[in-house]
Amino acid sequence: MDAQPDKLPPGLRNPADIFFQKDGVRRAIIIAYWTAIILAIPLCLLNEDASLENSVMGWDVRKGIEEHVQPILDALSSQHNFTIESQVQSYAPLAFDLRPVSNDSFGLSYDDLTVFVNSAEWTLSSSVSNDPVLHFLLFVPSSDHSPLNILNSDGTLSKSTAFILPQWGGIVIYNQPQISTMPKLSEHGLHRSFSTFATQLMTLLGVPELPSGILRSPNDSGLISAWQLDALVRRRILETAKGTQDTLRSFIQLANQIDNMPIGESVRNDIEGSLNALEKVTLFTIP
Cβ atoms 137, 61 nearer than 8 A: no
Range scoring the smallest mean pLDDT among 47-51, 70-74, 130-134, 206-210: 130-134
pLDDT digits (tens, 9 = 90+) for 155-186: 888 999 999 998 899 999 999 887 666 688 99
Give the amino acid at 74: D
In this model, does residue 2 exceed pLDDT 60? no
pLDDT digits (tens, 9 = 90+) for 236-267: 888 888 888 899 899 888 888 888 888 888 98
Question: Which residues, in sequence order, are bridge partners of residue 89?
Answer: 46
pLDDT band at 29, cuts 50/70/90?
Answer: very low
Q: How many CB atoms lie within 10 A of CB 170?
A: 21
Quick one: pLDDT at residue 170?
95
Quick one: pLDDT at residue 20?
35
In this model, does residue 280 exceed pLDDT 90? no
Instruction: Please give the residue that has the higher pLDDT: either 284 or 213.
Output: 213
Query: Is there a cis peptide before residue 287, judged by omega within 30 degrees of 0?
Result: no
CATH number of the domain located at residue range(s) 19-204 in this protein: 3.40.390
Quick one: pLDDT at residue 285?
66
pLDDT digits (tens, 9 = 90+) for 46-103: 999 988 878 899 999 999 999 999 999 999 999 999 999 999 999 999 999 998 988 7
- 3-state SS track over 29-76: EECCCCCCCEEEEEEEEEECECCCCCCCCECCHHHHHHHHHHHHHHHC
Question: What residue ranges do the domains of the chain occupy?
Answer: 5-12+226-285, 19-204
Give this prediction's pTM: 0.79
